[in-house]
Amino acid sequence: MKVNNVVTLDINSLSFDAMGIGKLDGKKIFVTNALPGEKIKAKIVQVKHDYAVGQVEEIIKRSPERNNGENDQWAKDGFDNLANLKYEYQLKFKHDRIMELLKQAGLADIKVKDTVPSPKQVGYRNQRLVYVRNYHGQLEFGFLKPYTHEFEPVDNFLTTDKQLSKVLMGIRDILREMKIPAYDPKTNTGFIRNVDVRRSNKTGEIMVILVTRQKDRPDLPRLYALLTEKMHDINGISMNYNPHQTEKIWGSSDIPLWGVDYLTEEINGLKFQISPQSYFQFNSLQAPVVRDIAIKEADIQPDDVVIDAYSGVGTIGLLAAKKAKEVRGIETVVASVRDARRNAENNQIDNAKFFKGNADQVLARWNKQ
């Protein structure tokens, strides 16, 4: 088996990341846009010692669980491996994946409830990060295809909030108008590497982060003047400086350019400030539902000490602090720890503390105390 070979496969199952799995000559083949029960022709794009990766070339026999061909391109490109699956089966896949993880951890006896559907199935993401590249002589926004790292331009963002998608296309058009050069990873040249946009579901505020190879350009003031003139919902523009020839997206320093350098979101009466490199639940409409379930199922008592591992900007931990004696949050990302501490202070919550570190290591240290 070699790269670019086209093989015929029967797909038997889905992988952890929702790729179809078939077998050939005793070797597993992971295929984007393939579903269990399907017979396909796949083009091999990567070959390893014990597995290979392929892309669907032709579907010979279609699964009845396939989403009637809608949104197949997103699954085909590997940008959303579940886009080809009817929503009820997406929910089942997520449920089964949790069960499998528990089984692997020796916790198969734990009951897993049904996955709670999202209020919106498309257009729900409040954040979208894109790559910026020169494609056929023109600056484009898009993604890197999994395993091949081939750049694919995108101008229709299936799962992203419509207002954010509009802002992204507006930023792209302004960058083209100003002839700002896109990043070239092969030569480590060009200026703009990535664009990240985030929107608060509560306030409608939008934050724009420009990931750049250089710290400055003479036309930067004109750039953010045009952005704020044409898109009035933007409340802050920041620059993240990453000069290195690396696959890592984020550099170490964030530089405020205009407005505020954070986004404000609200959940269950608490306000959360989110800085450029901090993680926040992408599905703003589902976030309160998830947190309500977590707090309810935890059945927190007034004398409890709650550990919030992977605490992010403190959303679950600060909500739990209303019921608990004490909350301790653990997070590896410095910016998120800083945001969580600031959010505790801003919400006048004094029984929640947040610590930087690996959750396993910090918990082991606390256990010895």
* Beta-bridge partners for 211: 194, 240
pLDDT reported for residue 235: 93
Question: What residue ranges of the chain have pLDDT lower than 50?
Answer: none
The span from the CA of 88 to the CA of 74, in Å, is: 18
Residue with tokens 């032709």: 58
What is the DSSP code string of 160-224? B-HHHHHHHHHHHHHHHHTTPPBPBTTTTBSSEEEEEEEE-TTT--EEEEEEESSS--TTHHHHH
Q: Encoding tokens for residue 244? A: 């290195």
Q: Encoding tokens for residue 223? A: 């750039």
Q: Encoding tokens for residue 324? A: 């608990």
The residues, ordered by sequence, that sit 6+ positions from 303 with a Cβ below 8 Å of its Cβ are 325
pLDDT, tens digit, 9 for 90 and up, residues 141-158:
999 987 778 899 988 888
pLDDT reported for residue 288: 85
pLDDT reported for residue 281: 82
Report yes or no: 83 and 71 within 8 Å, Cβ to Cβ. Answer: yes
pLDDT reported for residue 182: 98
Residue 247: closest CA among 188, 332, 182, 331: 188
Phi, psi of 176 (to 5 degrees): -65, -45
What is the total residue count of the chain? Answer: 369
pLDDT reported for residue 290: 87
pLDDT reported for residue 70: 63
